[in-house]
Structure formats: structure tokens, C-alpha cells
Chains A and B, each alone.
Chain A
Amino acid sequence: VQADGTDGNCVTFVLHDEDHTLGNSLRYMVMKNPDVEFCGYCITHPSESKINFRIQTRGALPAVEPFRKGLNDLMGVCQHVLNTFEVRLLPEELKG
């Protein structure tokens, strides 16, 4: 799943079996983190389904932290979206 860059602050993760679906949404969540100086992803070749996801942090923060935080934040967003969506649907079912 991972490959290292230079030191702990700039790391390129190689995520297998992923594409823009997770890549773009994860990039958005990681960019919202103020500690992140650079975040981007690219698809190495369209025939292979893997993405290079690069995070560079400012300061001495290890790059795994924003990655983990981004994943957790994305899970939080999905959970909230799911809850809101199901609550919105409920009155429709109750109405019959």
C-alpha cells in the first residue's frame, strides 16, 4: 500500500485498486488540513489501477498523520451523509 519518499515529512503512498473515486475525495479532505503544505494524487497509467498519493507537511509532522486524519474525516463525512439521507427518507416511508 505504501512507498516512502525522502524523509518523514514528504511521503508518496501507492494505493492499489483505487482511482479518482477515492483519490479526489481523499485529496480534498487532506487539503483541508492546515498542516499540509502539498497534497496531490495522480494515476500512474490508466491501464493499471493504482494511484500515487503524495502528502508534504510543513514543520516536523510525519506525513502519515494527515493521511490518517484525512481518512477518518472522510469516514465522518460519509457517516453523517448516510445518517442525514436515511433520516430524510424516513417520513416518506412513514407516509406509506
Chain B
Amino acid sequence: AAAAAAMAAKRRTDEMRDRVVLGEFGVRNVHTTDFPGNYPGYEDAWDQLRFEEAFRVDVIREEEGALEFDMVGIDAAIANAFRRILLAEVPTMAVEKVFVYNNTSIVQDEILAHRLGLIPIRADPRLFEYRNQGDEEGTEIDTLQFQLKIKCSRNPQAAKESSDPNELYFNHKVYSKHMTWVPLGNQTDLFPDADFRPVHDDILIALLRPGQEIDVLMHCVKGIGKDHAKFSPVATASYRLLPDITLLQPVEDEAAEMLQKCFSPGVIEIQNIKGKKVARVANARLDTFSREVFRHEGLKNLVRLARVRNHFIFSVESTGILPPDVLVSEAIKILMGKCQRFLNELDSVPME
């Protein structure tokens, strides 16, 4: 009996250490507690070899602009650091300064400039430098120049009674494909086969009518999302923890059917064992944890909803500037760069 009690106690501490439990009215065990000294009998001091053995990355799905991968064996603090860096600190190129030579459209200058800034530009930011603080002109190593020059005119061949703008006017819709790259200085030599343009050709910038024209010159610089959200390279980057659903008691017949309806489709499957319908957790990963179980009195004590604390399901969607796997690698390198910066400062500044 003592051994059973000891086993139960160990199971409870293990649960406290590795699972975030979702109760009916709140979430328990949220913070990481496995620091040295907290749990007697557990080796919690940092051990790189133990980390390397337990850590793994599984790529689940890799598409054109989206990547879904799992990181297992790492702590929330570091996974969150990667997510924050993906959103705010991976640099990209975006339009920063717009020189308006002529804008007779009904879109105001500043609104037009704002819209141009938000257009993602297909240019590898690693080929460029950051612009220096007070530099107004911009050199060829830190600036990309684009020109947008378009004039709307009336179509003389249109039918008399037509009211379709596509027939009546030429160039009445200004798309991002009308932006052309104007090489600065020796950029034609530096980037001989480069094709700098917006990622998408069909972003509508403005609408014109005959006689209106837009003639602007744009300077793109390298920046980070912390400065302005237009520099963020991801449509979004998020993670969730792996769900862990355990049935505390066997669930049968109607209760099993009700249980299956409480979760997302595919999570619980009903098996036919000796004529009786028994519920089984098939794939907990698909669940979105709507906590529908807690609304049914008979079912809420039969399951334990939890999440595995160190298993992160990342989902990174890129805007098209850089592929998502490159973005994740860059984010990890940026975190390393931050650490290196402080290590260098520590070594250079004499400590009192």
C-alpha cells in the first residue's frame, strides 16, 4: 500500500512538472517549476547533453508560404523568444520614403505613402545593410529605389452607352505590378540577375479616372517589425502546446457518444469491444479545447484535459519575402547574436 501511495505521489509530481492542466474554471500548473532545488530527487540543473538527447524537431507540413513544425523538449521561455523574434526582429525591406512628384488622384499623398509602405517587397534583406541614422540620401548598399508612374486616360474606342470602367478607361486601377525597380549606382553590377519587385502583382494601390496621374519615387530600406509592422516578415507566427486528453475511467455506450461530440472530430473514436461501445482517445493533437465536456455533469469527471508543457506546435506563415524555413533559421541566429553581443560587452567592459 505504501508503494502504491508513493507511485501515486510520483505521478502527481510528474503531472505538475510536465503538464498544464485545464480545469473547469481555470488553468493549473502554468509556470515552469523544474528548477534545481524545487523537487528533491530530480536532477534539474542545466545539462546540455540531456537537453540534446530529449530535444527533437519534426516538420509536419511544408507548403509554399506556410510551415508547421513541432519542437519537443524545449521550454516555453525560449519557444516564446523565437516567436517574438519571428514577429518583430527578423529584418525585411519595405518602402520607407515616398517622393511624390505628381499625385492628382483622389488618394491623399500620405494615405498613398502608407499603402505603398505595407506592400511586401521581394528582396532578400540579407543582401542589404541598415541605413545609417542621419543619412537622408541613401546609398546603393542600403536602399532600393522603385518608381510608380501611371496616368489614366479615356478609351476612344469604348461603346457609347457602356458604363464598365474597364472598357471606358485605360489604367484606371493602379496595381503593385506597375511598380518598377530603378537601379541605384552600381546595383546593376551587384545584382545582375536580381528581379526586385513586390511579392504580389495584384495588390490594388489606388483607383484613377481620366486626367489623374500618380508619379512617385520610393526608397526601400531594411527595417525590423519592432520599428513598424510593415517590416514584419510573417503573416503570423504562432504556437500551441500539444493537447493531452486522458480518460480517467472507461466510458461506454451513450456516454461514449456524448463524449465524442464534445471534442473536435477525430479526437475520440468509438470502438466496439464485446458488443459494447467504448470510447478511446484516437488523436489528441487535433483538439481545439473548447471545454464542452465541462458543460455535462456526467462527463466532466471522466476526462482530464491537459497540455504537454514542452511540446510546441509552431505554425509560421510567411508574407512571401523569405520562405518560412529561412525565417526560422534567421530568428534562431538573431537570438544567438543577442547573446553574443552581451558576452562581448561583458568581456570588454572591466568589472568593478
Check B55 against A81 for contact (C-beta < 8 Å): yes
Check B81 against A25 for contact (C-beta < 8 Å): yes
Q: Which residues of A are found within 8 Å of B71, using beta-carbon distances?
A: 81
Q: With the chains together, A1 CA to B147 CA distance in Å? A: 43
For the complex formed, measure the closest distance between the CB of B82 and the CB atoms of chain A, giving whole angstroms. Answer: 8
Interface string of A18-54 (1 = CB under 8 A from B): 1111101111110111100000000000000000000
| B4 adjacent to chain A (CB < 8 Å) | no
Which bracket fits the contact residues of B?
35 or more
Check A29 against B46 for contact (C-beta < 8 Å): yes
Number of A residues with CB within 8 Å of any CB on chain B: 41
Check A21 against B346 for contact (C-beta < 8 Å): no
Q: Which residues of A are found within 8 Å of B332, using beta-carbon distances?
A: 78, 81-82, 85
| B271 adjacent to chain A (CB < 8 Å) | no
Q: With the chains together, A34 CA to B51 CA distance in Å? A: 16
Check B48 against A28 for contact (C-beta < 8 Å): no
For the complex formed, measure the closest distance between the CB of A1 and the CB atoms of chain B, giving whole angstroms. Answer: 5
Q: Which residues of A are found within 8 Å of B48, using beta-carbon distances?
A: 73, 76-77, 80
Query: Known contacts A21-B81, A24-B81, A75-B340; is A32 also within 8 Å of B45 by CB?
Result: yes
- Considering only CB atoms, which chain A residue lies closest to B352 in the complex? A4
For the complex formed, measure the closest distance between the CB of B257 and the CB atoms of chain A, giving whole angstroms. Answer: 40
Check B81 against A73 for contact (C-beta < 8 Å): no
Q: Which residues of B are found within 8 Å of A78, using beta-carbon distances?
A: 332-333, 335-336, 339
Contact of B81 among A22, A64, A71, A75 (CB under 8 A): A22
Q: With the chains together, A28 CA to B77 CA distance in Å? A: 7
Check B69 against A88 for contact (C-beta < 8 Å): yes
Q: A-side interface residues toward B, CB under 8 Å?
A: 1-2, 4, 15, 18-22, 24-29, 31-34, 62, 64, 67-68, 71-82, 84-86, 88-89, 92
Which 9 pairs across A and B sit closest by C-beta, in order of nearness? A32-B46, A28-B77, A34-B36, A25-B81, A24-B77, A21-B84, A78-B336, A82-B332, A34-B45
